[in-house]
Amino acid sequence: MSGSQFPPFKGVELFMHILAWGILFGFPFFFTGRESPELTLVDYLRSIIVPISFMLVFYINYFILVDYYLFSKRFSQFIICNVLLVAMVLVSTHVLLHLLPPPAAFRPGPERKIQEIVGFFLINAMLYFLVCAFSVAIKMTLNWFQNESMRNELEKNMVEAELNNLKSQLNPHFLFNTLNNIYSLIAFSPDRAQKAVHDLSRLLRYVLYESSQPAVSLGKEENFIRNYVELMRIRLPEHVEVKTDISIERPEAAIAPLLFISLIENAFKHGVSNSKPSFIHIKIQQEENKVICSIKNSYFPKEEGRDKSGSGIGLQNLQRRLDLLYPGTHIFSTEQVGDTYCSLLVLDNV
């Protein structure tokens, strides 16, 4: 990506450039004092010619050569351009220094030999190449940070899009299961079905509005779970035992919405038999900065192809949401122990 797509300087970067060059150009003033000769305009001009030449080499690389050649992987052209640039700047600097009057304290010495002159130019050329390398290092570091920032922003947008997609699957899934319960209730108790519809409207208000936020309070999630369990309890036979043990110390704690509902739905789906004794035990506790959801239920698996509730989607979505929202800070496991199905979800740093 070309650097021309970004402003030349931003924030801290601009400050660092100004500070560095300000120190370099102010360096001659550090050596003036009572015992030092007064700094004249000519002396100052002589002293800043080299910093200006460094600045020229630095910014030609920074704004032009690195973008057009190095980032385009045209390394040979980049090296050739820098050799020509350093040679041109080195000669121009040498000529300018000779055109200005010599310092007041200057005393001409013996004429230098050709080897000394070549050595002098080589040493100065090395300094300019170090400036080139410094410019490349800063530019590449800045480019890496910009690319990394853009990549993180892209990943964040992708994660948000995926979470929204998972929620869009979860909402109709939740509605589908609950409407099935109300449908079965209408046949033998229309009054209770009417009350269930009212309760469902409150649940849907939470699902459609509250859960659209990235996080909700743990207290609101608790109320949602209690209302949902009561709604599901309406159609259960007498031989089904449902227990809820919810202990929340800090109801204001923030949590991602609708994380527990898939486990609870799964328990009602597989934990209830129409003819055999059944149980569903739901336990949710908050311990310091952890929330622990443990669900145990009798296990009566539905036959493949006959179950139309779609609740199998719920556990898959839950695992994916946990990976996205609580990476490395959650424990999620399910297992069958004899005729009992156990689910465990632990959220850390809540």
Give the pLDDT score at 6: 44
The closest of 190, 220, 203 to 265, measured between CA atoms, is: 203
- Show Cβ contacts of residue 177 under 8 Å, excluding neighbours closer than 6 positions: 265, 268, 269, 309, 310, 311
Dump pLDDT digits (tens) for 238-252: 899 999 999 999 999
Give the pLDDT score at 162: 64
Give the pLDDT score at 253: 94
Give the pLDDT score at 153: 78
Give the pLDDT score at 142: 86
Q: Does residue 168 contact residue 93 with C-beta atoms inside 8 Å?
A: no
Dump pLDDT digits (tens) for 241-288: 999 999 999 999 999 888 898 899 889 888 999 889 999 999 999 988
Give the pLDDT score at 308: 47
Give the pLDDT score at 305: 52
Q: Does residue 212 contact residue 243 with C-beta atoms inside 8 Å?
A: no
Q: Does residue 346 contact residue 331 with C-beta atoms inside 8 Å?
A: yes
- Show Cβ contacts of residue 117 under 8 Å, excluding neighbours closer than 6 positions: none
Give the pLDDT score at 109: 54
Q: Which residues of 160-183 are buried (b: 16+ CB within 10 A; e: fewer)?
A: eeebeebbeebbebbeebbeebbe
Give the pLDDT score at 15: 76
Give the pLDDT score at 278: 96
Give the pLDDT score at 334: 94
Dump pLDDT digits (tens) for 151-181: 887 677 666 666 566 555 555 656 776 777 7
Give the pLDDT score at 290: 94
Give the pLDDT score at 250: 93
Q: Does residue 244 contact residue 226 with C-beta atoms inside 8 Å?
A: yes
Domains and CATH numbers, the chain: 3-109 (no CATH), 164-347 (3.30.565.10)
Written as one letter, the residue type at 277 is P
The segments of the chain whose pLDDT lies below 50 read 1-8, 33, 308-311
| Six-digit token string for 258 | 């609708």
The model carries a pTM of: 0.54
